[in-house]
Every structure is written in C-alpha cells, then in structure tokens.
Structure 1
Amino acid sequence: MKILMIEDNKSVSEMMSMFFQKENWDASFAYDGNEAVDMFNEHADDWDMITLDLNLPGKDGMEVAKEIRKVSKTVPIIMLTARDTESDQVLGLEFGADDYVTKPFSPITLIARMKAIHRRNENIAEEVAKTNNDKSSDETSEGFDINTGYFKLNSSTREAFLGGKEIPDLTPKEFDLLKTLSSKPKQVFSREQLLEQVWDYDYFGEERTVDAHIKKLRQKIEKVGPQVIETVWGVGYKFDDSGVKAD
C-alpha cells in the first residue's frame, strides 16, 4: 500500500515508519494540515490509505478530512484521536473517516485496522469487476443486486435508490452498511456483526464507529424518502421498507 500518515508528533511517525517498512508499504508523512492537503492533492489518485491525527497545526484534522473528501470519496481514512474526545471521534466519522483509533495506540492494532480496511476495499473491487462481467454477459439485466420494488441497490455502480430517487453522496462504508442491512430485510444486525461484516475485523468495543455511520446514512436517506433503517434498542439495526411499500 501507499500510505499518507498525517501526524504532527514525529516520534509517532518514526515509530510507525518502522512498522510500515516491515509490511513493505510505501509511506509518506505530513506534519501539519496544510502540508497534508498539498501532499494529498499532488498525488490524489495514488494513495491507498490515509491516517489522520485530529490535532494538527495549520488546518486541523476535521478540515483536512473535508478537503480530502472533496477530492476523493473512496480513499480510506483512519483518524487518530485522544481517548477523552468522544465527540471528536463521532464528528470525525461524520466528516468522512472510515474508522478511528484512540491514542495512545498499539502499532499492531493500527496495522491490523489498515489491513482490514484495505482487504475490504480489494474485495469490493473484485465484486464490482465480477458484477460488471456478469452484466456484460446479460444485456437485459438491470444490474440491481437488491430490488424490493421501492428500494434498489446496484453493487457495480455503487448506487442505491429509494422510491426512484438516488440516495446522494454515499461513502464506501455507508454503501456497504446499506447493502449489508438491506440484503436481509427485517433481520436485526448487532453492532458487532456490522463491524465484522462491513469493517472486516473483530469487535474491539468501538460501537460509535457503527452508530456514527448509521447516523450519516439515515440523514442521506431522509433527503429522498422515508426512513428505512430502524433501531432495535439493546440489539442493533435492521432494514425494513415493508411499511413504506404498503403506503
């Protein structure tokens, strides 16, 4: 992987550099927000992963995340946050981060998260390629993996429609969440199951990762129609558009 680590603490960067080298990853380092945005934009299509500290000189991590997301909605971003800034963790996810790791962190944990997200992205790319191949062999296919009549989802184009209207600006994780939930309507998924299936790693206790993405996904759904993601208190979330279709 080609990594951009945005971190103003050079000791942390130097430590992670050794771990990146061990993985044979090509890592570059930015030490303030303005430098980070410039470095990202210079090679925007080349980066496989971004790690982003929230507390940066120049532009802070939130601003950097917004700038990156203006250019790329798909490059994975892992935010590095302090343990006592829960609101920052949730806000960071809402600004487009795929995941967060709390400081002080274990380098092994960060590497594991990076591998899991990268592996997930590779699986998505393979799935899209397979869908495109299948579609090319069947010109009459509409290409929708999920079609309830009211809700439609296409893995090849990474688009989802509610009542004929496209749900706008879905990030990769939001799309994957929606696909996972809608693939089994009315089935309740726990946060642990969603972390395993969407983020592709074992449960670490980071429930806010799921909750923050669900919150943003719901906001985008509500722009085009009624809410179809329900909270099952004490358990998790489920997709259900049966009531909507009945209307």
Structure 2
Amino acid sequence: MVKAGRKRGAPAEEEPNDGAVDYEKQRAERIKENKERLHKLGILELTKKLNPPSKKLTTPRISRRAVSIDDPPRRSFRLKDKPPVSYIERMIPKTDKVSKEDVEINIGEGENPEFYTEEHEKLLGDCQNAWTLYVDGYGEDGQRVYDPDNGKSCHQCRQKTLGQRTACSNCKLGQGQFCGDCLYMRYGENVIETNENTNWICPVCRGICNCSRCRREKGYAATGAIYRKVLRLGYKSVAHYLVKTRMVVTTNI
C-alpha cells in the first residue's frame, strides 16, 4: 500500500537539517562580534593606514635628440668601405629566340580521342592583314573595357566587352560572335575582313571551335592559353595547331 501525502514515483523532498542551520547562525554571530571588537580596538583603521591604495606605476618619458638629415648615417665599420646595396629590380630583356624543342604544349586527355581530317583542314580560316592585339576594346590604360550594357559577349572568352564582333551568316546567333583578339589568336582570322564578307561562317558552324565549352561537349580537354607557344612552333593560330598536329590521313582504296 502507498502512504498518502506523496505521489508514487515523485522524488522525496529533503528534510531540513536543524544542526546545520544552528551552526550557520552561530558562525554569523561570531563574525559580527569579532568585527565589533576590532572596531573598538581601532585595528581596522590601523590596517587601512598600513595598506594605502596602490598607485599606477608610470614609466618616465625619456626625451631623445631629434636626428638631423645632415647627420652621418650609422654604419658598421666593417661595412663602411662596401658600396651601398641597391634594391631596384633590373629588367631582364625578353627574347624570342626560343627553339622549337624547348616549347612544350601539354593538353590533357579527354573522354574521346581528338582527331581531324583533311575536310577540317579546308575549313581553317586565313586573313590578308594581321590583326593588332590588345587594342580594340581596350581603354587608354591598356585594360579591357567591360560593359554589361553596351558590350557584346564573345563566344570564345565569354566576356561582355566593347570592341568589334563577328556575325555568322549561317547561324545568325550569339554563338557566332567572336572578338577580334580571340578570332585572330584562336583561328587566324581578322575580324574586319570577316565583317566585310557577308557569307562568313563562324568556327562553331564549321565544327572547328576550340573554346572550352565546345571542346567539353565533344569530349576533348580544354587547351588553355597556348597561343604564344603555337606561334613559336610556326602555326598561325590554335586551330591550325590542333588540326594539323592531330590530322588523320584517309586513303581511298
């Protein structure tokens, strides 16, 4: 049977300990009596005089003589006869005299083997006049002018900048827009000449586009910035290098 007065399963309340309560009362009374006794004897005032509040220690300020620009420099006697060190960097002149054997082009392996035929070679572009790089669409400071409102996107570099763009007579879409620099470096064509040709077809429609997106769709690895390397090897553009070095000769039997 469960006794009335406490629910079953409820924790039992702790009963107060009368001995502990009496001890705390007695202790408080003794502390009070001791303080009153010390006050009557004047000991509390004496301890305050013996332990004054601590002051902040401040470091004395040392005045130093100002150094005049006419004073001789402080130098070690060991180094006084040596010429002063110059930290100005010397410009090393660039040279284009690089042998073909020293040029390495590493393009990763894609999902599909990359090869071209003679038909692809016939689709490679050309130009009568050389295109000047890093001028069209650039500001006076030599930087490209990015304009999200007035600029036109380039299919190759996918940058919306100012400057001339190509127009494809076949697709008549944004994929046929190439900026002058990309068209010249990647395909060896001049944007001014292509705009004068109403029948010009873009590299995408010709099937020789080497932008990273088109190559990925074909299962090829991206080429990276290899224009200057292929130029040293004697090729006029990246497209010419890819097609001519991965040519598969077909023979009719």
TM over 0.5: no
How would you bin the TM-score normalised by the shorter chain?
A: under 0.3
Greater relative contact order, per chain length (Cα 8 Å cut-off, separation 6+): 2
Structure showing the higher helix proportion among its residues = 1
Task: Please identify the structure whose Cα radius of gyration is greater.
Answer: 2
* The structure with more strand, counted as a fraction of residues: 1
Question: TM-score when scaled to structure 1?
Answer: 0.23
